[in-house]
């Protein structure tokens, strides 16, 4: 990176390539991520179709994307914990459980959001 903090096209391209590498690693090595991608592939277009107006569309599409982001972060935490502390340690277990809890909360938020928005249309 240049001294003034400017990120040129090469740095932006490299950042994009590293992001794609991370998505491929998530898909290749994480069964939960693959399942959540499959769910998002259904929910995102469905949310764009079912949402009434831009705010509802965003409210239906954003939670599944946040779940994918949290799953990748959780997987990254787990990989680092396993590398640094391959034997069981209470703090390592706590870090992994907390990452899993973050994904769970976003999954619950996704279900709640979809239920609150779509229930009145079907009730």
Query: Where residue 105 sits, what CATH number does that domain have?
Result: 1.10.287.3610
Q: What is the pTM of this model?
A: 0.88
Burial of 106 (0-12, 13-18, 19+ CB in 10 A): buried
Domain coverage including residue 108: 9-118
pLDDT tens-place values along the chain, 123 residues long: 455 667 799 999 999 999 999 999 999 999 999 999 999 999 999 999 999 999 999 999 999 999 999 999 999 999 999 999 888 889 999 999 999 999 999 999 999 999 999 998 777
Structure tokens at 15: 């950042």
The residue annotated as part of the active site, out of 36, 56, 71, 90, is 71
What are 64-69's contacts with CB under 8 Å, separation 24+?
A: 64/36, 64/39, 64/40, 64/110, 65/40, 66/106, 66/109, 66/110, 67/36, 67/39, 67/40, 67/103, 67/106, 67/107, 67/110, 68/33, 68/36, 68/37, 68/40
Question: Is residue 71 flagged as an active site residue?
Answer: yes
Is there a domain that residue 113 lies in? yes
Residue 90 marked as a ligand binder = no
Is there a domain that residue 36 lies in? yes
Is there a domain that residue 47 lies in? yes
Is there a domain that residue 42 lies in? yes
Residue 8 marked as a ligand binder = no
Residue 58 marked as a ligand binder = no
Is there a domain that residue 3 lies in? no
Structural domains in the chain (count): 1
């Amino acid at each position: 990176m240049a001294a003034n903090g400017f990120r040129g096209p090469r740095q932006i391209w490299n950042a994009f390539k590293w992001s794609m590498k991370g998505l491929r690693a998530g898909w290749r090595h994480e069964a939960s991520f693959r399942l959540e991608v499959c769910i998002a592939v259904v929910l995102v277009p469905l949310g764009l179709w079912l949402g009434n107006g831009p705010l509802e569309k965003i409210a239906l599409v954003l939670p599944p994307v946040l779940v994918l982001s949290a799953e990748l972060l959780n997987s990254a935490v787990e990989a680092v914990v396993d590398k640094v502390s391959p034997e069981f340690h209470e703090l390592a277990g706590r870090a992994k459980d907390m990452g899993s809890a973050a994904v769970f909360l976003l999954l619950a938020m996704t279900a709640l959001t979809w239920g609150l928005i779509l229930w009145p249309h079907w009730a």
